[in-house]
């Protein structure tokens, strides 16, 4: 179909690490095993990234660490800290109630 993006492959059957859209002129780095397109690398003209190695910084997506590599790390850390603090507060309140400690502040606000 005209204008449709079709991923290019190498002779060995892997995906090309640099994928270009013929209709738009945009090129992107891609993972050679699964063809994942890294949108943040997209541009017309010369690439700012070395696509032959860029995918190695992103991992395969099979582990949590690989997932985090592709995310805004600051936001992931803040979210993780928020989750940990929430769990600690819940544990603190529950164990405090079990031991008979009265948390008036929590009872009035929760």
Give the whole-angstrom CA distance, residue 100 versus residue 19: 63
pLDDT score of 110: 47
Give the whole-angstrom CA distance, residue 58 versus residue 76: 15
Domain boundaries in the chain? 1-58, 71-110
95 or 20: which leads in pLDDT: 20
Considering the entire predicted model, what is its pTM? 0.51
pLDDT score of 64: 57
Give the whole-angstrom CA distance, residue 89 versus residue 40: 38
The band of 10, judged by pLDDT with boundaries at 50, 70 and 90, is very high
108 or 36: which leads in pLDDT: 36
Is 69:62 a contact under the CB 8 Å cutoff? no
Query: Is it true that domain 1-58 has CATH number 3.30.70.2190?
Result: no
Please spell the DSSP secondary structure of 42-89, one letter per residue. EEESS-SS-HHHHGGGT--SSSHHHHHHTS-HHHHHHHHHHHHHHHHH
Contacts of 65 (CB under 8 A, 6+ apart): 59
Give the whole-angstrom CA distance, residue 28 versus residue 59: 16
């Amino acid at each position: 179909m005209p204008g449709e993006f079709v991923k290019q492959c190498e002779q060995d059957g892997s995906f090309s690490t640099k994928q270009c859209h013929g209709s738009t002129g945009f090129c992107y780095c891609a993972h050679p095993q699964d063809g994942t397109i890294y949108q943040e690398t997209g541009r017309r003209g010369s690439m700012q990234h070395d696509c032959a190695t860029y995918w190695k910084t992103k991992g395969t997506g099979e582990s949590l660490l690989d997932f985090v590599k592709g995310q805004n790390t600051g936001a992931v850390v803040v979210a993780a800290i928020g989750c940990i603090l929430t769990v600690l507060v819940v544990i603190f309140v529950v164990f405090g109630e079990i031991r008979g400690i009265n948390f008036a502040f929590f009872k009035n606000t929760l």
